[in-house]
Structure 1
């Protein structure tokens, strides 16, 4: 297994957003100002989410894994946002339905060849309800990061 590119500073706890688009716009602005993505990233990820939704009904705690085409990213990185209040994302498996998401795992890819391996590893971790519950209960970002290190 490869090591997932998760940095402590990329984990945000108790975050509040009005809705899916509010989250995607604000994260896009932060990533652009940090130099991690190219112009057009926010529009691309919002449009992609409309066509290929990323909400996953994983059980009691649901997640979303928004991402877009690699040409908008300057790096491969993972950002984890634990929400104070869940927000609706359209479901990946039933795009006409929504799911209330409590954890968002946003992925940047700078190379399309990295995508399948990272998604596979992530899915093994983020479909584990015990791990998701512990992420929700985390008081410090390092508690979330430890779950990914333990499970790798």
Structure 2
């Protein structure tokens, strides 16, 4: 029962677990042919900046953070990365999804010497840092699901990818 002194549980879950709106067709690139992290970060940051989702400082900030705190991950299904930076550099929340034609090396999260050959990158733009842990957790759960990985590797259309990701992340 809600006596007015607390927020109903369903509303709390909606606030913290509904990330579907962060996935937009305009921020999905399929079979991208980037050769380096820097090329990826610059190209994706330019798209985000043009649409006023990030500040001009975003590209440099995300590259610097990646160098200090690597975001590569690997499991039995895929190697991927989840780069992000401080909320200060973000104007509006987003997840920029890139599936690569060829892999880009990232260092494994928590290390400085174990490379990960990322095939998919989910670059996060978080405005509300409290939401970051939940979103990271949800992304990692999805990447640990073989069906999810097979689906995102097989979808050939950005509209279909956006629809699929919105459904997976609460839409």
Using the size of structure 2 for normalisation, the TM-score is 0.81
Which residue of structure 2 lines up, in the alignment, with residue 57 of structure 1? 74
Structure label with greater radius of gyration: 2
Q: How many residues align?
A: 152
Q: Are the equivalent residues in 2 in contact too, given 1:56–1:62 (CA < 8 A)?
A: yes
SS at match of 1:44: helix
Distance 2:162 2:47 in 1: 21
Which residue of 119, 125, 145 maps to 1:102?
119
Cα distance change on mapping 1:112 and 1:151 into 2, 3 Å:
closer
- Structure 2 residue 167 is matched with structure 1 residue 145: no
Q: Once the 2 structures are TM-superposed, how far is the Cα of residue 39 of structure 1 from its aligned partner?
A: 2.0
Q: Which runs of 5+ in 1 are unaligned?
A: none
Distance 2:89 2:137 in 1: 21
SS at match of 1:59: coil
Tell me how large the CA RMSD over aligned residues is: 1.7
Which residue of 74, 90, 104 maps to 1:87?
104
Which residue of structure 2 lines up, in the alignment, with residue 125 of structure 1? 142
Residues 1-12 of structure 1 correspond to what in structure 2 (within 5 A)? Answer: 1=13, 2-4=17-19, 5-12=22-29
- Structure 2 residue 46 is matched with structure 1 residue 21: no
Cα distance change on mapping 1:30 and 1:142 into 2, 3 Å:
closer
Cα distance change on mapping 1:118 and 1:52 into 2, 3 Å:
same
Using the size of structure 1 for normalisation, the TM-score is 0.90
**Per-residue CA distance 1:39-81 (angstroms, 9 max, x = gap):** 2111110000000001101224211001000000011111111
**Per-residue CA distance 1:3-39 (angstroms, 9 max, x = gap):** 2221222221111101111101211222122211112
Distance 2:38 2:114 in 1: 16
**Per-residue CA distance 1:57-108 (angstroms, 9 max, x = gap):** 1224211001000000011111111111111111104331111111000110
Distance 2:129 2:93 in 1: 10
SS at match of 1:121: helix
